Structure 1
């Protein structure tokens, strides 16, 4: 690895040059691509003499300044730069260079996904295409011409509007695209291939007709219709909620298999991981459909929160990502069940971000430094960033928030700005002082809130103490400022008070009077702040039955279950009060999708977060025991719920049938704990008769972990049916890698040799290797075999795709919380990885933080 250089937010300097326009020509061939880049540049700092452009692996063919070819003495080529010596105040630079997309396995810059040319330039991929000032505060107007073989690449796409087709290149052809909106280079995109497509149109609130296209591999066109419907719904929603309409004549989406991220919001040409575009009921689950709706909306919403207004520098990443995640969460809540969406969002936050906050890789939503920017596309920047925006929304309320966002768009349209600029707009538009709120941007770790209650003479006192974690460097951090939604319930479960408190000090007491009896506290309603509540005594069973806030009812259920599991771990005793309260949930007459969430026991990830030293063996034992007790006690009720909601012939995507599948599959997973032939036969029948992937994949998972003989038949059938469907095979690999069967690692190693598996495709690596790394039972095996396997994979994949390798490194983040035996085994393997010659800075940065 070349020397890892750390970049710091405090070192930011305004760019010394501005690039007014960029004219690009790509000549695509099978063995090479020739890029011609003409830039109109103005010197912003007259003290600067030389122009230093970012450039990686540069094979330079020619450089011209104002039409004159430069001699080699006028420029310097370094490892990551091209410097043009002694440039005038205004000038044109023309650079011609050669790149090799077909050899690009890192999937950054210009590369090939199968037979499709495509790009991924966020954060710093453009510099591997052509020399440029590759930073987000350089915003330029791009015109792009793509030239390629007519037969192999009939579809040629780039940003903006199509302005010219070129048909005079013999067996080749070309298309020129122009984007009138200045943008940074990370939003540049290019696609060329023989693609299928579907088309539609959308008329904006101003009456502009927009052409909508979704491109995919030939033969997959029928799987794009849900994505198209989701796009149109997102366009309507953004107009209604934020007053934002689309600003080009055309909006293109392209689905490709090989993509490091979920999707990319390039201006007018979104490139998507095919997992977030392609879906039909035979190949996609209900969760897949929901995920597509969310990600399609997310990338569209970026058109204003990310493209029209972008980041000044990469330390401001949460400016666009936190805000846009919040927007897509609100969209999904409006499209589906708001209560279910909120719980799912918080579950995801806790599963990923809370774990990150408790690890050596924790960081603020606005980091102060980085070695590889790719490592900061994290749950902290995205999901915690969204929670920070949600708190701002709570402070302001809907009307003032709308006024503030209008001010933000009007003031900063066309600019590269900072989180401080956003908070200025929120403060001014919302008529509120948010200075104290900035700690959320600059502090790391998850704050806790110690809650104490007292009641005497009709007066209820709520005492709150903030417990703030220190930084990784052991620096003290300040108390946070946040809204805390709470309610007080009487003994019959009726709300007697609903209020939003403002928490701002380390210690505070709130007093409420005129109560006849002590009320029951319902705190952090709707998860109004991303904190951990600590209560010595909480009336979880009461709240499970009576709380009128759906989130805190769910929260009470989860917390009571966690308390029960911890009791099982420490004393092997079961809390009968929880089991009794759980039975009440089975009889609740509520939305079935919500009920399915209520019945779900805490995940292994949630349980481990409460342990000072993690021991997965005892966690699994306690979790399995509680599940078995519930399944035994309520078997008949669970079977009744299953039978009432099992409609194997239904392929409907409406809310009613999604909810029926959710509750039916939840109780099937609970009944699994009985380990009986009756349940195995139920799952086998569901697998054979059901017409949806949602039902089929749950049944397959149950069989894999319950009945070897049934499982082998079903797995072979599934493989034969879907071996040519890469997205479905991701599910197949994930089930096998997540299995509780003793030989799982041996099977994972064997599956790497399956003809379907390809280590160069990120989705397949995540589904097989990534799923095994989350299979805590075997990844954390006492003999260290899981650690050795993953370390070997990180070393191998790092040579192919460093971004994918560094993602796998995250499985070791729990190292310092593991028991001593496992901790030593993990450190041994991490030390081996970090000492590997040529290790990327991506993987080095993550492992170095874990080992410190």
Structure 2
């Protein structure tokens, strides 16, 4: 899409250097062995390192070690002190010969490390986060993923303060020392890059279990948490064991160490980290029980535990050559965890959830100033490329290969990839080549999915010739320009397709149509009447699809398509068409164009689905959920927040009021299902809260009482939060009573109080801005905990009508956050630039306010390179 405004000149700013994929060179020196000794302390940790280095190639260049603050206090080569020099973010020194032993020491202060990268403190506990470039904050090092070393780690600490000492690999020795101290020595036999190094020291308790691999190897499993939290680890442990068994069954991959440890940490930038043998998790993805975790939380824990475990092979045993290849491990592993979760629950529901996330985060990213290929060509700060494009679109690219290959051939390609590159730092091209050879695919044109940004646009039209009984499918693909890529070559787009007979309400079989040209036409015979086109079934390709349809086609697909995702998609499009027409009608009679069905037809379709016995409750809740306001905005050239909000609210009210009796019946039926984690009970809870939302939207006189009754009677967090989410948007006395009750019940439980913050700032209450200001000043809000920051601000900026309120005060609130948070935690801060970077999609008044905020941020002295990169690109 062409820009609708031109950015004003940005203030002069020192931009960080750009790193290019084309400039890749192997390291001049490799570190083969690493021996680390830590004398651990919250405020003064001493690190002693012995590095076995080897010259890499025929050259006479100096040793250069990456360094971010942790300058060496001592440094010697083969026992002799050497003078080192600082060269920007590296130190350099000369070494004679092909090999050497380098010894060095550093002194670091974990308790002042608010960036939460390297070694940092979290509530009296010490832990590390080294991906992507955190290890250099511990010692100077060849801190890049293609430098793979064997590690031995000795940890020493006060035993009363840090009774648990953990690192990668297996524990080989431990014992007591003088002065109330103790030690633990860990050894990891598998070469790994420094970003996979980990240590944890703290006062922790463990939930223990074991797993026996298919070859008979016994593996000790442990999840370490703070005392009192151990009762909330059972689900995570079960997810770990299920993941280990699934990876053996589906990919033939066994775990390769005698121990697998997980630690839950309350202060963490990411969701979790796959460090070899010692996974460190944000506590929100470990701790769960019915009283404090929703069904969504349970699913997220299962998925993230699986993701990090699967990294043992797709990320650790085979790692990335450089950070441009990040999707090699992340895209592939996201695909693997998506398939695992689909096998553990409902494949159809999981697919809908994954596509919804893709469209909510990745499609806007692809359509904005921060668009980039899943294998980027350049970056200023690698932390900025932990994006939905690299992860979620990367998973879709793997899924397309799996679709084209079929299960057996895809597995053969994966087997070849792991066998060929085990113990290596590989590239995306290595994976594609293994898939070509192992699966027998020609992926020459397909490689463009790795090279090009942007979401392909596909137009489809089905033409019918009654005289010959021939149906002809016409397809066309095109691309919109993205930064640095104004024109793009064609890509192969695999579209699962079926033609459904209108009389039989069935198809003759699904086919895979691969669109490779700008335009293609395929003909099918034997159709006396025009069939109904079902295309991109299962969302087989991550594209924007524009299908020319007769007016009754979408209701027909909703009622009769046998592909669950296609049914969901048809109803979503039915609703989108109606809402876009309603918004256009706000401009005056006759402004609406297109073939939107009537409100009566929408109500009739919803009514049929509410009672459709072919649907289980979980799928019913998915298909009957309206598109979000943000997604509706993505369907418009210029986003109109107020109009979208009014139109969606009006439709929701109509569906609620005209089907009110049905919603009450559904709510009452679902309320009678006892709590359990069975699929049926989870589905009942899901449809229960959806029905409650429609009852409230109908503005029924007893809506607040029904919601409060669900809240008060709830014996689980899913029902309690579902009711509170409805109450949070209402102007009723029960709202404040429920919010106070919730807070008082869970005060002190950080993860649940995060929910309390989010429910208020993500609500449709008319005073969200005022409540936001109150919550910023709340005694439980802090800028030093990323979970709390995200809990308060992400629902707010995602609340389209609120954040984009015409005065611009939402933009100012976000800008204030960025300026305060950046000095503390640049990585978390940088994630908040994207909402302002979408200024081109809004009217001139809003766009000017958003640009002003970006320029205000850019003018801030000492701005981090994380934030600088995002702002500069957003203003270009």
Tell whether the structures are fold-level matches, with TM greater than 0.5.
Answer: yes
Superposition pairs for residues 21-32 of structure 1, below 5 Å?
Answer: 21-32=33-44
TM-score (norm 1): 0.98
Give SS of 2:618's match: helix
Q: Is the 8 A contact 1:484 1:502 kept in 2?
A: yes
- Establish whether residue 471 from structure 1 lines up as the match of residue 482 from structure 2: yes
Query: Structure 1 residues 828 and 212, CA, compared in 2 at 3 Å: closer, same or farther?
Result: same
Following the alignment from structure 1 to structure 2, what is the Cα–Cα distance between the partners of residues 87 and 657?
69
Aligned equivalents of 2:507, 2:545: Cα separation in 1: 21
Residue equivalent to 1:111: 120
Which residue in 2 is equivalent to 1:643?
668
C-alpha separation in 2, matches of 1:519 and 1:191: 61
Partner of 1:420: 429
Distance in structure 2 (CA, Å) of the matches to 1:471 and 1:615? 23
Per the normalisation by structure 2, the TM-score is: 0.96
For 2:469, the equivalent position in structure 1 comes to 458
Listed as ranges, the matches of 1:256-267 within 5 Å are 256-267=265-276
1:330 aligned to 2:355? no
Within 5 Å, give how 1:518-533 maps onto structure 2: 518-533=530-545
Alignment partners' CA distance in 2, 1:647 and 1:21: 61
Q: Equivalents in 1 of 2:15, 2:858: separation in Å?
A: 13
Alignment match, 1:303 = 312
Q: Establish whether residue 150 from structure 1 lines up as the match of residue 159 from structure 2.
A: yes
Count of residues in correspondence between the two structures: 848
Could you tell me how far apart the structure 2 residues matched to 1:169 and 1:229 are?
A: 40
Aligned to 2:612: 588
Are residues 1:556 and 2:567 paired? no
Q: Check conservation: 2:724, 2:738, Cα contact below 8 A.
A: yes
Find the aligned partners of 1:441 and 1:522 in 2 and give their Cα distance: 28
Residue 686 (structure 2) aligns with: 662
Secondary structure class of the residue paired with 1:433 = coil
Residue 684 of structure 1 corresponds to 708
Residue 95 of structure 1 is matched in structure 2 by 104
Pick from 716, 719, 731: which aligns with 1:695? 719
**Equivalent residue number for residue 143 of structure 2:** 134
Aligned Cα root-mean-square deviation (Å) = 1.2
Is the counterpart of residue 704 in structure 1 residue 713 in structure 2? no
Rounded to whole Å, the distance in 2 between the matches of 1:83 and 1:801 is 28
Partner of 2:871: 847
Q: Which moved more, 1:622-631 or 1:705-714?
A: 705-714
Q: Stretches of 4+ moved more than 3 A in 1?
A: 572-575
Query: Deviation at 1:113?
Result: 1.1
8 Å Cα contact 1:462/1:509 also seen in 2: yes
Structure 2 CA distance for partners of 1:534 and 1:3, relative to 1, 3 Å: closer
Quick check: 2:48–2:106 contact (8 Å CA) kept in 1? yes
Q: Does 2:429 match 1:385?
A: no
Aligned partners of 1:39 and 1:647: how far apart in 2?
A: 64
> Shift in Å at residue 754 of structure 1?
2.1
Q: Retained in 2: the 8 A contact 1:372–1:841? A: yes
Tell which deviates more after alignment, 90-99 or 751-760: 751-760
Question: 1:474 and 1:54, CA in 2 relative to 1: closer, same or farther beyond 3 A?
Answer: closer
Which region of structure 1 is more displaced relative to structure 2, 23-32 or 379-388?
23-32
What is the CA–CA distance in structure 2 between the aligned matches of 1:127 and 1:704, rounded to whole Å?
45
Secondary structure, aligned partner of 1:517: coil
Taking the aligned partners of 1:753 and 1:633, their CA distance within structure 2 comes to 42
Deviating more after overlay: 1-10 vs 283-292:
1-10
**2:17–2:380 contact (8 Å) kept in structure 1:** yes
Task: Report the counterpart of residue 630 of structure 1 in structure 2.
Answer: 655
Residue 2 of structure 1: CA displacement?
Answer: 6.3
CA distance in 2, matches of 1:39, 1:570: 67
Q: CA deviation at 1:3?
A: 4.4
Residue 483 in 1 paired to residue 494 in 2? yes
* Residue 585 of structure 2 corresponds to residue 571 of structure 1: yes
Q: In the alignment, what sits opposite 1:281?
A: 290
Q: Does 1:36 align with 2:48?
A: yes
1:426-472: CA deviations, max 9, x gaps?
00011111111001000010001111121112011001000112232
Matches within 5 A, 1:203-214: 203-214=212-223
**TM-superposed deviation, 1:217:** 1.2
Counterpart residue number, 2:697: 673
**What is aligned with 1:535?**
547
Quote the residue 1:19 is aligned against: 31
Deviations 1:642-674 (A, max 9, x none): 1111137x3311111001001111111122212
More deviation, 513-522/740-749: 740-749
Task: Output the CA distance in 1 between the equivalents of 2:58 and 2:732.
Answer: 74
Residue 353 of structure 2 corresponds to 344
Alpha carbons 1:365, 1:442 under 8 Å: kept: yes
Are residues 499 and 30 of structure 1, via their aligned partners in 2, closer, same or farther at CA, if it must alter by over 3 Å? closer
- Provide the C-alpha distance between the structure 2 equivalents of 1:720 and 1:204, rounded to a whole number of angstroms: 46
Cα deviation for residue 745 of structure 1 reads: 1.9
User: For 1:690-722, what per-residue CA distance to the aligned partner results, in whole angstroms no more than 9, with x for missing partners?
Assistant: 101000011111112124310111111111110
- Residues 445-454 or 473-482, more deviating: 473-482
Residue 446 of structure 1: aligned partner: 455
Contact 2:671 2:685 in 1 (8 A): yes
Q: Identify the residue that residue 377 of structure 2 maps to in structure 1.
A: 368
Structure 2 residue matching 1:111: 3-state secondary structure: strand
Please give the alpha-carbon distance, in whole angstroms, between the structure 1 residues aligned to 2:106 and 2:220.
Answer: 34
CA contact (8 A) 1:675 1:706 kept: no
In the TM superposition, 1:160-175 aligns within 5 A as: 160-175=169-184
Report the CA distance between 1:48 and its aligned residue. 2.9
Candidates 560, 580, 583, aligned match of 1:546: 560
> Unpaired segments of 5 or more residues in structure 1?
none
Structure 1 stretch displaced more, 489-498 or 49-58:
489-498
**Does the CA contact (< 8 Å) of 2:320 and 2:425 recur in 1?**
yes
**What secondary structure does 1:808 align onto?**
coil
**Aligned 8 A contact 2:43 2:108 in 1:** no
Equivalent of residue 729 in structure 1, options 726, 742, 753 = 753
Measured in 2, the distance between the counterparts of 1:533 and 1:357 equals 15
- 8 Å Cα contact 1:16/1:48 also seen in 2: no
Of residues 701-710 and 689-698 in structure 1, the stretch that sits farther from structure 2 once superposed is: 701-710
1:226 aligns with 235
1:262 CA drift (Å): 0.3
CA distance in 2, matches of 1:498, 1:207: 42
Which of 117, 121, 125 lines up with 2:134 in the alignment? 125
Partners of 1:275 and 1:700 lie apart in 2 by: 20
Alpha-carbon separation, structure 2, partners of 1:514 and 1:770 = 53
Which deviations, in whole Å up to 9, do the C-alpha atoms of 1:470-523 show, x marking residues without a partner? 232352101111311001111131113421111111110011112221111100
Report the more deviating stretch, 58-67 or 825-834.
58-67
Indicate the residue corresponding to 2:253 in structure 1: 244
CA contact 2:15–2:868 (8 Å) conserved in 1: no
Question: Which secondary structure state, in structure 1, belongs to the residue aligned with residue 831 of structure 2?
Answer: helix
Query: Which residue pairs with 2:92 in the alignment?
Result: 83
Q: Distance in 2 between matches of 1:118 and 1:473?
A: 40
CA contact (8 A) 2:266 2:282 kept: yes
Farther off after superposition, 488-497 or 237-246: 488-497
Stretch moving more, 492-501 or 358-367: 492-501
Unaligned runs of 5+ in 2: 1-12, 587-591, 593-597
For residue 96 of structure 1, give the secondary structure of its aligned residue in structure 2: strand
Q: Deviations over 1:214-243 (max 9, x none)?
A: 011111000001000000000000000000
- Secondary structure of 2:729's counterpart equals helix
SS at match of 2:182: strand
Shift of residue 283, structure 1, vs aligned partner: 0.2
Question: Is residue 452–residue 485 contact of structure 2 (8 Å, CA) maintained in 1?
Answer: no
